[in-house]
Structure 1
Amino acid sequence: MSTMDDRSKNATGCVRNAALFQDRLMEEPPTSSAPAALRHRYANLTDRAAEICAGCPFQQTCLYDAVVQHDVAGYVAGTTQRQRTQIRRRLGITVEPEDFDTFAGATARNRPVDHEEVVRLRRANPDETLDSIAQRLGCSLSTVKRHLRRERAAQEGPTRLTAIDRAKPTLTQVLAAAAEIAGPVRRQLRRAA
């Protein structure tokens, strides 16, 4: 017999239905060439998730955060990751994905990669491949590229507006864009299934 404490009673629908929201299909939707049964299952999952999100008192806040603040994967606040990308495009904003490697500061050898060391090695060895620099530092090629992009961006200065520099859209603007994008797509999903 399971018991519920106050925290589980007050949990949001996505927490209470974690298996639904964390289903592999919700993270990686099927392509149009996928079998009809898989597309139908995806449509059913998103319909159920949409119903749960629609009844959530935090849906609007959740949607705003998922569109404006964080690049979130999966199904959130009644929208897919693709829909949130379209909403951002319509609003003219970009949200950089979180750089968890930097937060963790870990490499394959469980030590942080020094940004200055990456830049120093590249300047000292301009003809060396980035892969060999990554091997020398004991990190991934993408880590080296990320540090070099960050250095290049710092040298160029602010040349374009980012989501931080630009005035963030209002909740009303996000909701209007979401209604324009998510509404027609939901109908298409049902027809495709």
Structure 2
Amino acid sequence: MTSRPLSILDVRSAGPAGRALCVEETAVFQHPLLEDPPASAASAEDRRRYAILQRRAEQTCLACPLLAGCLYDAVVRHDVAGYVGGTTARERARIRTLLGITVEPENLDTLAGVIGGNRPVDHDEVVRLRAAHPDESLERLAHRLGCSLSTVKRHLRRDRNGGRTREQEPRSRPSVRAVLATARTVLDPARGSRRAA
């Protein structure tokens, strides 16, 4: 695991109010490759494109005055996909594990009324379609089902967890300081262990 630049690890507070810089980089932050990182078996070209996108997203996050608040929300309040708050989904999951919290992914389809009158997508249908089309992108599966990408990801996560659902909200939320300290440990394990010693 490579260490991140120390500037992302040294965020102290939410900083001054301002506009999130990712708004200006939607082509990067909403790119399908950044939303759904390539597997280790992916082509070298996909892995290279992903690395370029991730570096651009990281640079944008580093310059953003809202980084600390964004990271906190992405770890504690909302289980979102893609690169958010200077972290990948995998890194945020690791931060949550270390903090001992769980966050249920939001059902954006229900909130947006996307699926005709709040008709839920059948969990078994999502799992069946994924098994039937393992090489198909999750975005294409979402299109087949007539739902959002986040809904497909939520159902597949639930399937990986053995069908268990997690709590909607953590019992007690960690402080911003605790989230930032844990992020420091995850993003730069060598530096985090030196501080703990």
Query: Which whole-Å CA distance do the structure 2 matches of 1:173 and 1:65 have between them?
Result: 13
Query: Which whole-Å CA distance do the structure 1 matches of 2:69 and 2:168 have between them?
Result: 18
Query: Which whole-Å CA distance do the structure 2 matches of 1:112 and 1:41 have between them?
Result: 36
Q: Counterpart of 2:171?
A: 166
8 Å CA contact retained: 2:102, 2:170: no
Query: Which whole-Å CA distance do the structure 2 matches of 1:49 and 1:42 have between them?
Result: 10
- Structure 1 counterpart of 2:122, one-letter code: L
TM-score, normalized by length of structure 1?
0.60
Structure 1 residue 106: Cα displacement:
6.9
TM-score, normalized by length of structure 2?
0.58
- Structure 1 gap ranges (5+): 1-9, 114-138, 144-160, 185-193
- Structure 1 counterpart of 2:25, one-letter code: N
Structure 1 residue 21: Cα displacement:
0.8
Query: Which whole-Å CA distance do the structure 1 matches of 2:112 and 2:45 have between them?
Result: 40
Alignment partner of 1:33 is 2:46? no
Alignment partner of 1:176 is 2:162? no
Q: Note closer, same or farther for the CA distance 1:142–1:57 as it changes in structure 2 (3 Å cut).
A: same
Q: Note closer, same or farther for the CA distance 1:183–1:163 as it changes in structure 2 (3 Å cut).
A: farther
Secondary structure (helix, strand or coil) at the match of 2:188 reads: helix
Q: Counterpart of 1:79?
A: 87
Query: Which whole-Å CA distance do the structure 2 matches of 1:106 and 1:38 have between them?
Result: 30
Structure 1 residue 51: Cα displacement:
1.0
Query: Which whole-Å CA distance do the structure 1 matches of 2:22 and 2:112 have between them?
Result: 27
Structure 1 residue 141: Cα displacement:
3.0
After superposition, the CA RMSD in angstroms is 2.5
Q: Counterpart of 1:141?
A: 122
8 Å CA contact retained: 1:93, 1:163: no
Secondary structure (helix, strand or coil) at the match of 1:17 reads: helix
8 Å CA contact retained: 1:26, 1:74: yes
- Structure 2 gap ranges (5+): 1-17, 125-165, 190-197
Q: Count the aligned residue pairs.
A: 131
8 Å CA contact retained: 2:95, 2:186: yes
Q: Counterpart of 1:58?
A: 66
8 Å CA contact retained: 2:104, 2:167: no
Structure 1 residue 100: Cα displacement:
3.2
Query: Which whole-Å CA distance do the structure 2 matches of 1:17 and 1:104 have between them?
Result: 23
Larger Rg: 1 or 2? 1
Structure 1 residue 96: Cα displacement:
0.7
Query: Which whole-Å CA distance do the structure 2 matches of 1:29 and 1:19 have between them?
Result: 15
